[in-house]
Structure 1
Amino acid sequence: MALAIRDVREHDLDAVLALNNTAGRSILVLDAAQLRYFYEHADYFRVAEIDGELAGFLIALRDGRDYGSPNYRWFSEHYPSFVYIDRIVVANAYRRHGLGRIFYCDVNSFAEVRVPLLTCEVFLEPIDDVVVLFHGTYGFQEVGQQRMGEHGPQVSLLAKDLPSFAYVRDTYLEHGGLPDLPWLASRVPYLTHNDSKPRRLAGERRS
């Protein structure tokens, strides 16, 4: 089995949308315009390919985005700097094989050189004990709860401290930025020119 975790490409979007909208009630349905927003603005948008098949994806955004999610807004009101996991979806055929942990390790590595906090939420209505346990064992702690809209589900707002960030900030971000290495590069999500391939930049100085 050949597994690859890579940045999303435009030709993946139809498959990503279909996967999202058949994931079940714990994942909010998207339309094409909402998915295009993520393609153009998400700081982290990676897919998993297994033997050439789309097996899952994870979307995350940094603070400072113009994003209307009530949960993202909650974190924006309470924390100055974070990466917010908006959603993770794994195809039914590839569940229970550790792909969720692989994604979380990857987004953790992305976040810990940029921000002090990794955040997300889990639904409490209906509650999924497997999901709650997964996040607890991965180091997340509840920092709040809220209801998503007047009639929406109650959610638990979770945050994970990233202790490596202080070292990265003091050693690199405040002294010229990250090294120019491919695994440290940042996604440039919105192509405003006639580029045919996503461009990635390293050495960012945001903290």
Structure 2
Amino acid sequence: MSIVVRDVREHELDSVLALNNAAGPAILPLDAARLRHFFDSAEYFRVAERDGTLAGFLIGMGSNTDHDSSNFRWFRDRHPDFFYIDRIVVASRRRGGGVGRAFYADAQSYAELRYPQLACEVFLEGGNDPALLFHGSFGFREVGQHVMEEAGVRAAMLMKPLCSYAWVRETYGDALPEASWLTRPRVPVRRVHDQAAQRPTGTCP
């Protein structure tokens, strides 16, 4: 069955919270209030469906966001403009099935129209070579390391240049074409039926 990536719906937040807190030490835990904050304010908050069930989620935001993560601040202190992946979680039974790559393709197709780089981190404690290999195969490179003051965990700080950004800026500037998936920011989806336009996915050659 195909993977469908779409904006999160309000009634799915309990399931998203359970996925996050079952993900293990590679993902910081969340509470309901924190997740609600992301739902109300995150620029990008999407879920993946496979076989009609929730397979994971990704939360991201631009560098001009007022976000209190020390990892986010680390990037912002060193880089002026980027799209930050705060967290990506894939259900354990769906790992290795392409959900993570579908998320990164979708997030990149969104970000490269607006930002020159993608940023994220991978925790180094406990052995996380599969995650580092995954990100490396997707074009991310380590630009430093940081110990999170709020968790005491060391993270590899990763960035990926977005090759289409310069062309988009040179061609369109701040005036992207009139298409709903380009011009409309994410807003919380509070109805059962998803009205979000599907964004195309893809990666740079």
Query: TM-score, normalization: structure 2?
Result: 0.88
8 Å contact from structure 1 (residues 188, 198) kept in 2: no
1:86 is matched with which residue? 86
Structure 1 residue 127, shift from structure 2 partner:
2.6
**1:76-155 counterparts in 2 under 5 A?**
76-149=76-149, 152-155=152-155
RMSD: 2.1
**1:30-109 counterparts in 2 under 5 A?**
30-109=30-109
- Identify which of structures 1 and 2 has the higher relative contact order when contacts are C-alpha pairs closer than 8 Å and 6+ apart: 2
C-alpha change, 1:150 and 1:112, in structure 2 (3 Å) is: closer
Output the CA distance in 2 between the equivalents of 1:52 and 1:32: 24
Determine helix, strand or coil for the equivalent of 2:75: helix
Q: Deviations over 1:81-113 (max 9, x none)?
A: 110001111111111111111111110111100
Letter in 2 for 1:189: V
Matched residue pairs, number? 196
C-alpha change, 1:91 and 1:160, in structure 2 (3 Å) is: same
Output the CA distance in 1 between the equivalents of 2:93 and 2:46: 19
Output the CA distance in 2 between the equivalents of 1:67 and 1:198: 27
8 Å contact from structure 2 (residues 82, 116) kept in 1: yes
Asked if 1:188 is matched to 2:186, the reply is yes
Output the CA distance in 2 between the equivalents of 1:151 and 1:56: 23
Structure 1 residue 79, shift from structure 2 partner:
1.3
Output the CA distance in 1 between the equivalents of 2:173 and 2:32: 36
Letter in 2 for 1:22: A
Output the CA distance in 1 between the equivalents of 2:144 and 2:178: 37
**Greater Cα offset, 24-33 or 150-159:** 150-159
C-alpha change, 1:150 and 1:67, in structure 2 (3 Å) is: closer
Q: Deviations over 1:42-97 (max 9, x none)?
A: 11111011222111011111111111100001111111111000111111111111
Output the CA distance in 2 between the equivalents of 1:6 and 1:127: 31
User: Percent identical across equivalent pairs?
Assistant: 53
8 Å contact from structure 2 (residues 49, 55) kept in 1: yes
Output the CA distance in 1 between the equivalents of 2:157 and 2:31: 24
2:16 is matched with which residue? 16
Letter in 1 for 2:182: L
8 Å contact from structure 2 (residues 44, 186) kept in 1: no
Determine helix, strand or coil for the equivalent of 1:187: coil
C-alpha change, 1:137 and 1:67, in structure 2 (3 Å) is: same
C-alpha change, 1:37 and 1:8, in structure 2 (3 Å) is: same
Letter in 2 for 1:31: D
Determine helix, strand or coil for the equivalent of 1:167: helix
Structure 1 residues without counterparts, runs of 5 or longer:
202-207
Structure 1 residue 183, shift from structure 2 partner:
3.7
